[in-house]
Amino acid sequence: MQPFTGSKTLGEWSYLLIAAGEKSTAGYSVGVTSISGSSDKLKVYYRVDGPLPGQVEAQVITYPYILVRIPANEAAVEFVEGNPQ
């Protein structure tokens, strides 16, 4: 599975999905650092963190992701890896 970002509005909610793709060990996480924008465009800033150097992790295939629910919004969504400038 490749990394993926996407959004979908259903009724009164919009859903934002960030999937980091297939990872060969445990210890990965995905987090949203900020959501900002206007009525016509949202910017979703996120980060993918891996295991710390030297940390012992289970040798299993994982698929880290985060699904965020926000009030319905028809704005275009741009996903940006990293922190806002």
pLDDT tens digits along 8-41: 999 999 999 999 999 999 999 999 999 998 889 9
pLDDT tens digits along 32-81: 999 998 889 999 999 999 998 988 889 999 999 999 999 998 899 999 99
> Residue 76: beta bridge partners?
41
pLDDT for res 1: 77
* Domains: count for the chain: 1
Q: Residue holding tokens 């891996």?
A: 50
Cα 3–69–44 angle (5° rounding)?
A: 50
pTM: 0.89
Tell me how far apart the alpha carbons of residues 26 and 7 are, in angstroms, rounded to a whole number. 26
Tell me how far apart the alpha carbons of residues 44 and 16 are, in angstroms, rounded to a whole number. 9
- Range(s) of the domain holding residue 54: 4-81
Which structure tokens are listed for 5? 């970002």
